[in-house]
Homo-oligomer: A and B are copies of this chain.
Protein backbone atom coordinates (compact mmCIF):
# COMPACT_ATOMS: atom_id res chain seq x y z
CA UNK A 1 0.00 0.00 0.00
CA UNK A 2 3.01 2.27 -0.18
CA UNK A 3 2.11 5.36 -2.13
CA UNK A 4 4.59 6.44 -4.72
CA UNK A 5 4.37 9.91 -6.08
CA UNK A 6 2.07 9.34 -9.04
CA UNK A 7 4.38 10.88 -11.59
CA UNK A 8 7.30 8.74 -10.50
CA UNK A 9 5.08 5.67 -10.56
CA UNK A 10 3.81 6.36 -14.06
CA UNK A 11 7.27 7.03 -15.45
CA UNK A 12 8.71 3.83 -13.95
CA UNK A 13 5.82 1.70 -15.18
CA UNK A 14 6.15 3.07 -18.72
CA UNK A 15 9.90 2.48 -18.66
CA UNK A 16 9.63 -1.06 -17.30
CA UNK A 17 6.95 -1.90 -19.86
CA UNK A 18 9.26 -0.83 -22.68
CA UNK A 19 12.00 -3.01 -21.21
CA UNK A 20 9.61 -5.94 -20.62
CA UNK A 21 10.89 -6.03 -17.03
CA UNK A 22 8.08 -8.23 -15.70
CA UNK A 23 9.69 -9.11 -12.37
CA UNK A 24 10.19 -5.46 -11.46
CA UNK A 25 6.67 -4.59 -12.60
CA UNK A 26 5.28 -7.34 -10.38
CA UNK A 27 7.18 -5.90 -7.43
CA UNK A 28 5.62 -2.48 -8.07
CA UNK A 29 2.18 -4.02 -8.55
CA UNK A 30 2.22 -5.88 -5.27
CA UNK A 31 3.17 -2.84 -3.20
CA UNK A 32 1.01 -0.20 -4.92
CA UNK A 33 -2.60 0.59 -4.05
CA UNK A 34 -5.05 -0.49 -6.80
CA UNK A 35 -6.31 3.11 -7.04
CA UNK A 36 -2.79 4.29 -7.83
CA UNK A 37 -2.28 1.51 -10.37
CA UNK A 38 -5.56 2.55 -11.98
CA UNK A 39 -4.37 6.16 -12.07
CA UNK A 40 -1.26 5.12 -14.02
CA UNK A 41 -3.50 3.89 -16.83
CA UNK A 42 -4.51 7.42 -17.71
CA UNK A 43 -0.95 8.21 -18.80
CA UNK A 44 -0.28 5.02 -20.75
CA UNK A 45 -1.04 4.37 -24.41
CA UNK A 46 -3.83 1.85 -25.15
CA UNK A 47 -1.21 -0.79 -26.06
CA UNK A 48 0.75 -0.18 -22.86
CA UNK A 49 -2.49 -0.46 -20.90
CA UNK A 50 -3.18 -3.89 -22.32
CA UNK A 51 0.28 -5.22 -21.55
CA UNK A 52 0.40 -3.62 -18.08
CA UNK A 53 -2.96 -5.16 -17.29
CA UNK A 54 -1.71 -8.56 -18.46
CA UNK A 55 1.13 -8.31 -15.95
CA UNK A 56 -1.25 -7.24 -13.16
CA UNK A 57 -3.62 -10.10 -13.91
CA UNK A 58 -0.75 -12.55 -14.00
CA UNK A 59 0.49 -11.27 -10.62
CA UNK A 60 -2.83 -11.34 -8.81
CA UNK A 61 -6.26 -11.68 -10.38
CA UNK A 62 -8.06 -10.07 -7.42
CA UNK A 63 -5.78 -7.06 -7.68
CA UNK A 64 -6.57 -6.88 -11.40
CA UNK A 65 -10.29 -6.84 -10.58
CA UNK A 66 -9.73 -3.99 -8.08
CA UNK A 67 -7.75 -1.99 -10.62
CA UNK A 68 -10.51 -2.47 -13.19
CA UNK A 69 -13.11 -1.19 -10.68
CA UNK A 70 -11.02 1.91 -10.04
CA UNK A 71 -10.51 2.88 -13.70
CA UNK A 72 -12.08 6.10 -15.01
CA UNK A 73 -15.26 5.17 -16.91
CA UNK A 74 -13.88 6.80 -20.06
CA UNK A 75 -10.73 4.69 -20.00
CA UNK A 76 -12.63 1.59 -18.93
CA UNK A 77 -15.03 1.79 -21.89
CA UNK A 78 -12.18 1.68 -24.39
CA UNK A 79 -10.26 -0.90 -22.40
CA UNK A 80 -13.27 -3.23 -22.31
CA UNK A 81 -13.57 -3.07 -26.07
CA UNK A 82 -10.12 -4.54 -26.45
CA UNK A 83 -10.08 -7.24 -23.79
CA UNK A 84 -11.03 -10.83 -24.64
CA UNK A 85 -14.39 -12.14 -23.38
CA UNK A 86 -12.95 -15.16 -21.55
CA UNK A 87 -10.39 -13.06 -19.69
CA UNK A 88 -13.02 -10.49 -18.80
CA UNK A 89 -15.32 -13.17 -17.39
CA UNK A 90 -12.51 -14.50 -15.18
CA UNK A 91 -11.94 -11.04 -13.75
CA UNK A 92 -15.63 -10.16 -13.37
CA UNK A 93 -16.12 -13.30 -11.29
CA UNK A 94 -13.69 -12.19 -8.59
CA UNK A 95 -15.25 -8.69 -8.37
CA UNK A 96 -17.91 -7.73 -5.84
CA UNK A 97 -21.26 -8.12 -7.65
CA UNK A 98 -22.01 -4.37 -7.75
CA UNK A 99 -18.69 -3.65 -9.47
CA UNK A 100 -19.38 -6.49 -11.91
CA UNK A 101 -22.70 -4.91 -12.82
CA UNK A 102 -21.16 -1.42 -13.07
CA UNK A 103 -18.43 -2.72 -15.35
CA UNK A 104 -20.89 -4.58 -17.55
CA UNK A 105 -22.97 -1.41 -17.79
CA UNK A 106 -20.01 0.04 -19.69
CA UNK A 107 -19.89 -2.75 -22.27
CA UNK A 108 -21.85 -0.81 -24.86
CA UNK A 109 -22.42 -3.67 -27.29
CA UNK A 110 -25.52 -5.34 -25.78
CA UNK A 111 -25.05 -8.62 -27.61
CA UNK A 112 -21.54 -8.90 -26.25
CA UNK A 113 -22.78 -8.06 -22.76
CA UNK A 114 -25.38 -10.83 -22.86
CA UNK A 115 -22.77 -13.24 -24.15
CA UNK A 116 -20.41 -12.35 -21.29
CA UNK A 117 -23.12 -12.74 -18.65
CA UNK A 118 -24.01 -16.13 -20.16
CA UNK A 119 -20.38 -17.23 -19.76
CA UNK A 120 -20.38 -16.49 -16.00
CA UNK A 121 -20.94 -19.08 -13.26
CA UNK A 122 -24.64 -19.60 -12.55
CA UNK A 123 -24.75 -17.94 -9.13
CA UNK A 124 -22.80 -14.81 -10.11
CA UNK A 125 -24.83 -14.72 -13.32
CA UNK A 126 -28.15 -14.47 -11.46
CA UNK A 127 -26.83 -11.82 -9.07
CA UNK A 128 -25.30 -9.75 -11.85
CA UNK A 129 -28.45 -9.95 -13.94
CA UNK A 130 -30.62 -8.78 -11.06
CA UNK A 131 -28.26 -5.83 -10.40
CA UNK A 132 -28.13 -4.93 -14.10
CA UNK A 133 -31.92 -4.59 -14.04
CA UNK A 134 -31.81 -1.50 -11.79
CA UNK A 135 -31.49 2.05 -13.10
CA UNK A 136 -27.76 2.87 -12.61
CA UNK A 137 -28.80 6.22 -11.05
CA UNK A 138 -31.01 4.60 -8.39
CA UNK A 139 -30.17 3.09 -5.01
CA UNK A 140 -30.51 -0.35 -6.63
CA UNK A 141 -27.97 0.59 -9.28
CA UNK A 142 -25.52 1.89 -6.67
CA UNK A 143 -25.90 -0.76 -4.01
CA UNK A 144 -23.56 -3.54 -3.04
CA UNK A 145 -25.00 -6.90 -2.00
CA UNK A 146 -22.01 -7.55 0.21
CA UNK A 147 -23.35 -6.51 3.62
CA UNK A 148 -23.39 -8.10 7.04
CA UNK A 149 -26.85 -8.91 8.43
CA UNK A 150 -28.02 -11.16 11.23
CA UNK A 151 -31.32 -12.24 12.73
CA UNK A 152 -32.53 -10.13 15.64
CA UNK A 153 -32.35 -12.89 18.27
CA UNK A 154 -28.65 -13.48 17.67
CA UNK A 155 -26.61 -12.55 20.76
CA UNK A 156 -23.67 -10.17 20.70
CA UNK A 157 -21.33 -13.11 21.31
CA UNK A 158 -22.80 -15.11 18.41
CA UNK A 159 -22.64 -12.02 16.21
CA UNK A 160 -18.97 -11.54 17.00
CA UNK A 161 -18.26 -15.19 16.23
CA UNK A 162 -20.17 -14.90 12.99
CA UNK A 163 -18.17 -11.85 12.05
CA UNK A 164 -14.92 -13.66 12.80
CA UNK A 165 -15.96 -16.57 10.60
CA UNK A 166 -17.11 -14.54 7.61
CA UNK A 167 -14.42 -14.84 5.04
CA UNK A 168 -15.32 -12.22 2.42
CA UNK A 169 -13.07 -9.17 2.68
CA UNK A 170 -14.43 -7.62 -0.49
CA UNK A 171 -16.26 -4.69 1.06
CA UNK A 172 -15.49 -2.89 4.28
CA UNK A 173 -18.35 -3.46 6.70
CA UNK A 174 -19.11 -0.80 9.29
CA UNK A 175 -22.62 -1.55 10.39
CA UNK A 176 -24.32 -4.74 11.37
CA UNK A 177 -27.85 -4.84 9.98
CA UNK A 178 -30.49 -6.67 11.94
CA UNK A 179 -33.34 -8.49 10.21
CA UNK A 180 -36.49 -10.30 11.29
CA UNK A 181 -37.03 -13.95 10.46
CA UNK A 182 -38.67 -12.78 7.21
CA UNK A 183 -35.55 -10.84 6.24
CA UNK A 184 -37.22 -7.47 6.77
CA UNK A 185 -34.86 -4.80 8.07
CA UNK A 186 -35.64 -4.13 11.73
CA UNK A 187 -32.51 -2.46 13.11
CA UNK A 188 -28.87 -1.53 12.87
CA UNK A 189 -25.90 -1.63 15.22
CA UNK A 190 -22.45 -0.24 14.60
CA UNK A 191 -19.55 -2.63 15.06
CA UNK A 192 -18.52 -0.46 17.94
CA UNK A 193 -21.83 -0.98 19.67
CA UNK A 194 -21.58 -4.71 19.00
CA UNK A 195 -18.15 -4.87 20.60
CA UNK A 196 -19.36 -2.88 23.59
CA UNK A 197 -22.58 -4.82 24.18
CA UNK A 198 -22.84 -7.48 26.90
CA UNK A 199 -22.06 -10.76 25.22
CA UNK A 200 -25.33 -12.54 25.97
CA UNK A 201 -27.69 -9.75 24.92
CA UNK A 202 -29.60 -10.36 21.69
CA UNK A 203 -29.19 -7.83 18.93
CA UNK A 204 -32.78 -6.64 19.19
CA UNK A 205 -32.06 -5.26 22.65
CA UNK A 206 -29.23 -2.93 21.71
CA UNK A 207 -29.80 -2.24 18.03
CA UNK A 208 -31.18 1.11 16.86
CA UNK A 209 -34.66 0.11 15.67
CA UNK A 210 -35.48 3.03 13.41
CA UNK A 211 -33.08 2.65 10.52
CA UNK A 212 -32.77 5.32 7.85
CA UNK A 213 -33.26 3.35 4.64
CA UNK A 214 -34.01 3.78 0.96
CA UNK A 215 -35.91 1.69 -1.54
CA UNK A 216 -34.22 0.14 -4.57
CA UNK A 217 -35.81 2.73 -6.85
CA UNK A 218 -34.84 5.82 -4.78
CA UNK A 219 -32.97 8.35 -6.94
CA UNK A 220 -29.22 8.68 -6.32
CA UNK A 221 -29.58 12.38 -5.48
CA UNK A 222 -31.91 11.52 -2.61
CA UNK A 223 -29.52 8.78 -1.47
CA UNK A 224 -26.66 11.31 -1.48
CA UNK A 225 -28.79 13.84 0.42
CA UNK A 226 -29.60 11.32 3.18
CA UNK A 227 -26.02 10.12 3.56
CA UNK A 228 -24.76 13.71 3.70
CA UNK A 229 -27.46 14.92 6.08
CA UNK A 230 -27.22 12.07 8.57
CA UNK A 231 -23.43 11.63 8.23
CA UNK A 232 -23.79 7.97 7.33
CA UNK A 233 -21.09 5.62 6.13
CA UNK A 234 -23.56 3.21 4.57
CA UNK A 235 -27.30 3.23 3.92
CA UNK A 236 -29.38 0.05 3.68
CA UNK A 237 -31.52 -0.57 0.59
CA UNK A 238 -34.81 -2.46 0.90
CA UNK A 239 -37.28 -3.86 -1.62
CA UNK A 240 -41.05 -3.25 -1.75
CA UNK A 241 -41.58 -5.68 1.14
CA UNK A 242 -39.01 -3.92 3.31
CA UNK A 243 -36.59 -6.80 2.89
CA UNK A 244 -32.91 -5.83 3.05
CA UNK A 245 -31.34 -6.31 -0.40
CA UNK A 246 -28.14 -4.23 -0.31
CA UNK A 247 -26.22 -1.25 1.01
CA UNK A 248 -24.98 1.95 -0.58
CA UNK A 249 -21.61 3.03 0.84
CA UNK A 250 -20.37 6.59 1.26
CA UNK A 251 -17.54 6.21 -1.29
CA UNK A 252 -20.08 5.58 -4.05
CA UNK A 253 -21.93 8.67 -2.88
CA UNK A 254 -18.85 10.86 -3.18
CA UNK A 255 -18.78 9.94 -6.87
CA UNK A 256 -22.49 10.81 -7.11
CA UNK A 257 -22.00 14.21 -5.48
CA UNK A 258 -19.14 14.98 -7.85
CA UNK A 259 -21.09 13.94 -10.90
CA UNK A 260 -24.20 15.86 -9.80
CA UNK A 261 -22.01 18.97 -9.34
CA UNK A 262 -20.63 18.39 -12.84
CA UNK A 263 -24.16 18.11 -14.17
CA UNK A 264 -25.09 21.44 -12.54
CA UNK A 265 -22.00 23.14 -13.92
CA UNK A 266 -22.60 21.85 -17.44
CA UNK A 267 -26.25 22.89 -17.23
CA UNK A 268 -25.15 26.36 -16.17
CA UNK A 269 -22.65 26.50 -19.02
CA UNK A 270 -25.33 25.35 -21.43
CA UNK A 271 -23.51 22.17 -22.31
CA UNK A 272 -26.39 19.96 -21.26
CA UNK A 273 -25.80 16.28 -20.89
CA UNK A 274 -22.43 16.42 -22.65
CA UNK A 275 -20.11 14.09 -20.82
CA UNK A 276 -16.78 15.47 -19.64
CA UNK A 277 -14.97 12.44 -20.95
CA UNK A 278 -13.34 12.84 -24.33
CA UNK A 279 -14.49 9.41 -25.36
CA UNK A 280 -17.75 10.58 -26.86
CA UNK A 281 -17.86 10.77 -30.60
CA UNK A 282 -17.84 14.16 -32.31
CA UNK A 283 -21.32 13.44 -33.60
CA UNK A 284 -22.59 12.76 -30.08
CA UNK A 285 -21.15 16.06 -28.83
CA UNK A 286 -22.62 17.89 -31.81
CA UNK A 287 -26.11 16.48 -31.24
CA UNK A 288 -25.95 17.13 -27.48
CA UNK A 289 -24.71 20.69 -27.71
CA UNK A 290 -26.77 21.89 -30.66
CA UNK A 291 -30.07 22.34 -28.77
CA UNK A 292 -28.29 24.15 -25.92
CA UNK A 293 -27.05 26.79 -28.32
CA UNK A 294 -30.49 27.30 -29.78
CA UNK A 295 -31.82 29.71 -27.09
CA UNK A 296 -28.73 31.83 -27.59
CA UNK A 297 -29.32 31.76 -31.33
CA UNK A 298 -32.96 32.69 -30.94
CA UNK A 299 -31.93 35.48 -28.57
CA UNK A 300 -29.43 36.74 -31.13
CA UNK A 301 -32.16 36.81 -33.77
CA UNK A 302 -34.53 38.63 -31.39
CA UNK A 303 -31.80 41.15 -30.56
CA UNK A 304 -31.24 41.53 -34.28
CA UNK A 305 -34.90 42.43 -34.75
CA UNK A 306 -34.69 44.90 -31.86
CA UNK A 307 -31.60 46.58 -33.30
CA UNK A 308 -33.12 46.54 -36.76
CA UNK A 309 -36.23 48.17 -35.38
CA UNK A 310 -34.06 51.02 -34.11
CA UNK A 311 -32.01 51.34 -37.28
CA UNK A 312 -33.28 54.89 -37.89
CA UNK A 313 -31.68 55.90 -34.57
CA UNK A 314 -28.44 54.08 -35.41
CA UNK A 315 -28.34 55.71 -38.80
CA UNK A 316 -28.51 59.09 -37.12
CA UNK A 317 -25.95 58.18 -34.49
CA UNK A 318 -23.58 55.36 -35.48
CA UNK A 319 -21.56 55.36 -32.18
CA UNK A 320 -24.64 53.92 -30.45
CA UNK A 321 -23.89 50.61 -32.20
CA UNK A 322 -20.45 50.57 -30.61
CA UNK A 323 -22.05 50.36 -27.17
CA UNK A 324 -24.23 47.31 -27.94
CA UNK A 325 -21.47 44.85 -26.89
CA UNK A 326 -20.86 46.49 -23.51
CA UNK A 327 -24.61 46.52 -22.75
CA UNK A 328 -24.98 42.83 -23.64
CA UNK A 329 -21.79 41.84 -21.87
CA UNK A 330 -22.47 43.61 -18.57
CA UNK A 331 -26.13 42.60 -18.38
CA UNK A 332 -25.27 38.99 -19.23
CA UNK A 333 -22.44 38.79 -16.72
CA UNK A 334 -24.25 40.29 -13.77
CA UNK A 335 -27.22 38.06 -14.59
CA UNK A 336 -24.94 35.01 -14.58
CA UNK A 337 -23.46 36.04 -11.22
CA UNK A 338 -26.86 36.48 -9.61
CA UNK A 339 -28.32 33.28 -10.97
CA UNK A 340 -25.24 31.20 -10.11
CA UNK A 341 -25.27 32.46 -6.53
CA UNK A 342 -28.98 31.86 -6.06
CA UNK A 343 -28.93 28.49 -7.87
CA UNK A 344 -26.06 27.15 -5.83
CA UNK A 345 -27.63 28.51 -2.64
CA UNK A 346 -30.86 26.72 -3.48
CA UNK A 347 -29.18 23.44 -4.33
CA UNK A 348 -27.21 23.46 -1.07
CA UNK A 349 -30.39 24.33 0.81
CA UNK A 350 -28.94 27.60 2.12
CA UNK A 351 -32.14 29.59 1.91
CA UNK A 352 -35.33 29.29 3.83
CA UNK A 353 -38.22 29.88 1.49
CA UNK A 354 -39.76 32.44 3.82
CA UNK A 355 -36.89 34.80 3.16
CA UNK A 356 -36.42 34.37 -0.58
CA UNK A 357 -37.84 37.84 -1.14
CA UNK A 358 -34.85 39.27 0.70
CA UNK A 359 -32.48 37.33 -1.56
CA UNK A 360 -34.01 38.95 -4.64
CA UNK A 361 -34.11 42.38 -3.03
CA UNK A 362 -30.44 42.09 -2.17
CA UNK A 363 -29.58 41.18 -5.77
CA UNK A 364 -31.55 44.23 -6.96
CA UNK A 365 -29.64 46.53 -4.59
CA UNK A 366 -26.25 45.01 -5.41
CA UNK A 367 -27.08 45.16 -9.13
CA UNK A 368 -28.05 48.83 -8.85
CA UNK A 369 -24.86 49.72 -6.97
CA UNK A 370 -22.73 47.89 -9.52
CA UNK A 371 -24.73 49.55 -12.31
CA UNK A 372 -24.14 53.03 -10.88
CA UNK A 373 -20.43 52.40 -10.47
CA UNK A 374 -19.91 50.96 -13.96
CA UNK A 375 -22.30 53.54 -15.41
CA UNK A 376 -20.08 56.38 -14.17
CA UNK A 377 -17.05 54.61 -15.64
CA UNK A 378 -18.60 54.04 -19.06
CA UNK A 379 -19.89 57.63 -19.14
CA UNK A 380 -16.37 58.93 -18.44
CA UNK A 381 -14.94 56.81 -21.24
CA UNK A 382 -17.73 57.69 -23.69
CA UNK A 383 -17.35 61.39 -22.85
CA UNK A 384 -13.56 61.41 -23.19
CA UNK A 385 -13.37 59.32 -26.37
CA UNK A 386 -15.97 61.24 -28.29
CA UNK A 387 -15.46 64.70 -26.81
CA UNK A 388 -13.70 66.15 -29.84
CA UNK A 389 -15.51 64.16 -32.47
CA UNK A 390 -18.50 65.36 -34.37
CA UNK A 391 -20.06 61.93 -34.32
CA UNK A 392 -22.81 63.01 -31.99
CA UNK A 393 -24.62 64.64 -34.78
CA UNK A 394 -27.43 66.09 -32.70
CA UNK A 395 -26.66 65.45 -29.01
CA UNK A 396 -24.08 67.03 -26.71
CA UNK A 397 -21.32 64.67 -25.43
CA UNK A 398 -22.65 65.16 -21.91
CA UNK A 399 -26.14 63.97 -22.76
CA UNK A 400 -24.67 61.16 -24.83
CA UNK A 401 -22.52 60.00 -21.89
CA UNK A 402 -25.48 60.30 -19.52
CA UNK A 403 -27.61 58.19 -21.83
CA UNK A 404 -25.02 55.40 -21.94
CA UNK A 405 -24.67 55.49 -18.14
CA UNK A 406 -28.42 55.41 -17.53
CA UNK A 407 -28.88 52.49 -19.96
CA UNK A 408 -26.12 50.47 -18.36
CA UNK A 409 -27.56 51.07 -14.89
CA UNK A 410 -31.04 50.04 -16.02
CA UNK A 411 -29.80 46.95 -17.87
CA UNK A 412 -27.64 45.78 -14.95
CA UNK A 413 -30.22 46.17 -12.21
CA UNK A 414 -32.90 44.46 -14.29
CA UNK A 415 -30.44 41.66 -15.14
CA UNK A 416 -29.45 41.08 -11.49
CA UNK A 417 -33.10 40.91 -10.44
CA UNK A 418 -34.10 38.55 -13.24
CA UNK A 419 -31.02 36.43 -12.62
CA UNK A 420 -32.13 35.82 -9.05
CA UNK A 421 -35.90 35.55 -9.60
CA UNK A 422 -35.83 32.94 -12.36
CA UNK A 423 -33.97 30.16 -10.49
CA UNK A 424 -36.37 30.65 -7.57
CA UNK A 425 -39.39 30.39 -9.89
CA UNK A 426 -37.89 27.29 -11.52
CA UNK A 427 -37.41 25.72 -8.11
CA UNK A 428 -41.00 26.54 -7.13
CA UNK A 429 -42.17 24.90 -10.34
CA UNK A 430 -40.08 21.85 -9.49
CA UNK A 431 -37.67 22.44 -12.38
CA UNK A 432 -33.91 22.26 -11.92
CA UNK A 433 -32.79 25.81 -11.00
CA UNK A 434 -29.41 25.11 -12.64
CA UNK A 435 -31.22 25.23 -15.99
CA UNK A 436 -32.26 28.78 -15.16
CA UNK A 437 -28.64 29.91 -14.87
CA UNK A 438 -28.06 28.50 -18.29
CA UNK A 439 -28.34 30.04 -21.74
CA UNK A 440 -32.12 30.48 -21.67
CA UNK A 441 -32.26 33.21 -19.03
CA UNK A 442 -28.94 34.80 -19.90
CA UNK A 443 -30.08 35.14 -23.49
CA UNK A 444 -33.34 36.75 -22.42
CA UNK A 445 -31.26 39.15 -20.34
CA UNK A 446 -29.03 39.94 -23.34
CA UNK A 447 -32.00 40.83 -25.54
CA UNK A 448 -33.50 42.91 -22.75
CA UNK A 449 -30.16 44.69 -22.33
CA UNK A 450 -30.07 45.76 -25.97
CA UNK A 451 -33.70 46.82 -25.94
CA UNK A 452 -33.37 48.85 -22.73
CA UNK A 453 -30.27 50.55 -24.14
CA UNK A 454 -31.82 51.55 -27.46
CA UNK A 455 -35.17 52.57 -25.95
CA UNK A 456 -33.48 54.83 -23.39
CA UNK A 457 -31.13 56.24 -26.04
CA UNK A 458 -34.00 57.15 -28.36
CA UNK A 459 -35.92 58.69 -25.47
CA UNK A 460 -33.05 60.70 -23.99
CA UNK A 461 -31.44 61.75 -27.25
CA UNK A 462 -34.73 62.48 -28.94
CA UNK A 463 -33.90 60.41 -32.02
Interface residues of A, Cβ cutoff 8 Å to B:
1-3, 33, 35, 39, 42-45, 72, 74-75, 160, 163-164, 166, 172-174, 190-192, 194-196, 208, 210, 212, 227-233, 249-251, 253-255, 257-258, 261-262, 264-266, 268-271, 274, 276-278, 282, 285-286, 289-290, 292-293, 296-297, 299-301, 303-305, 307-308, 311, 314-315, 318-319, 321-330, 332-334, 336-337, 339-341, 344-345, 348-355, 358-359, 362, 365-366, 369-370, 373-374, 377-378, 381, 385, 391, 437, 439, 443, 446-447, 450
Chain A's interface: helix, strand, loop or mixed, by majority?
helix
A318 engages B325 (CB within 8 Å): no
Given the contacts A174-B233, A212-B3, A322 and B304 also touching, CB distance less than 8 Å: yes
| B-side contacts of A324, CB under 8 Å | 307, 321, 324-325
B345 engages A326 (CB within 8 Å): no
B172 engages A293 (CB within 8 Å): no
| B-side contacts of A329, CB under 8 Å | 296-297, 299-300, 303, 328, 443, 446
A344 engages B278 (CB within 8 Å): no
| B-side contacts of A351, CB under 8 Å | 42, 278
A192 engages B163 (CB within 8 Å): yes
Inter-chain CA distance A176–B232, complex, in Å, is 19
Q: Which has the most chain B C-beta neighbours within 10 Å: A257, A328, A358, A443?
A: A328
Nearest B residue to A72 via CB reads B350
| B-side contacts of A341, CB under 8 Å | 266, 269, 271, 274, 276
Given the contacts A319-B308, A341-B266, A437-B269, A43 and B297 also touching, CB distance less than 8 Å: no
| B-side contacts of A355, CB under 8 Å | 278
A340 engages B266 (CB within 8 Å): yes
A352 engages B266 (CB within 8 Å): no
| B-side contacts of A301, CB under 8 Å | 326, 378, 381
B233 engages A286 (CB within 8 Å): no
| B-side contacts of A258, CB under 8 Å | 228, 257, 261, 348
Nearest B residue to A352 via CB reads B42
Nearest B residue to A188 via CB reads B1
Nearest B residue to A70 via CB reads B229
Given A265-B344, A297-B378, A329-B443; 10 other pairs, CB 8 A cutoff: A163-B195, A172-B192, A254-B257, A262-B344, A292-B333, A293-B337, A300-B325, A307-B321, A307-B324, A314-B314
| B-side contacts of A276, CB under 8 Å | 341, 344-345, 348, 350
B325 engages A328 (CB within 8 Å): yes
Q: Please name 13 pairs of A and B residues whose Cβ atoms are closer than 8 Å in the assembled complex, sorted by A.
A: A2-B210, A172-B231, A174-B233, A228-B254, A276-B345, A278-B358, A282-B369, A285-B362, A296-B330, A297-B326, A297-B377, A314-B314, A329-B446
Q: Which has the most chain B C-beta neighbours within 10 Å: A195, A232, A373?
A: A195
| B-side contacts of A327, CB under 8 Å | 300
Q: Which has the most chain B C-beta neighbours within 10 Å: A44, A45, A270, A318?
A: A318
Nearest B residue to A327 via CB reads B300
| B-side contacts of A450, CB under 8 Å | 325
